Each structure stands twice: as structure tokens, then as C-alpha cells.
Amino acid sequence: MEIRYYDVVTVGFPAPVRNGRILTDPKNLGKGWTRFNFEKAFGKPVRVINDAAMQALGSYRGGRMLFIGLGTGFGSALVWNGIVLS
């Protein structure tokens, strides 16, 4: 499906993210991501979140949940009553 059919794009990014900003470049994707303009690239509003936090929210069903993700690195997120704490 073409990007024009979406109102907002959400990116799960494999690096520390704070307030929608990528803090450090991931080792496996090269340099320049901390300055990359996703909104310009997609032509839509973009929300950036850490990939482990995104996966945790996607699998969350209530209460307190610790998510541990193993992929190209180790990621974790704690969801407490619907809020990502880490």
C-alpha cells in the first residue's frame, strides 16, 4: 500500500529514543540517524519510539509486564498499567 493512504507513520527504532528523538546511532545501521528527518522522508507526521518499547506495547495486555527482546541486540521495556517506563 502506498504511503499516501496513511495519516501518521510510527517508527520502532533500534536505539535509545527520548521524546521522539533518536539519541545515538545504532551500531548495525551506520551513522546519521540522529539527524535523519523522517517526516520529510515520508511526507507525513512521524512518531519515533524505541523498537523494544513498541513491541512491548503491541503485546501488552494489562498490569505490569517486562518485555525482553533479543535480535541484533538486547532490548527491554517495562510497561506498567499501559505506560512504558523504560
Which segment of 2-16, 19-33, 34-48 scores lowest on mean pLDDT? Answer: 2-16
Q: What is the pLDDT of residues 31-72, one digit of tens each?
A: 999 999 999 999 999 999 999 999 999 999 999 999 999 887
Which residue segments constitute the domains of the chain, with CATH numbers given?
3-84 (3.30.420)
> For residue 83, what are the CA distances in angstroms to 3, 33, 65, 71, 79?
29, 26, 10, 23, 5
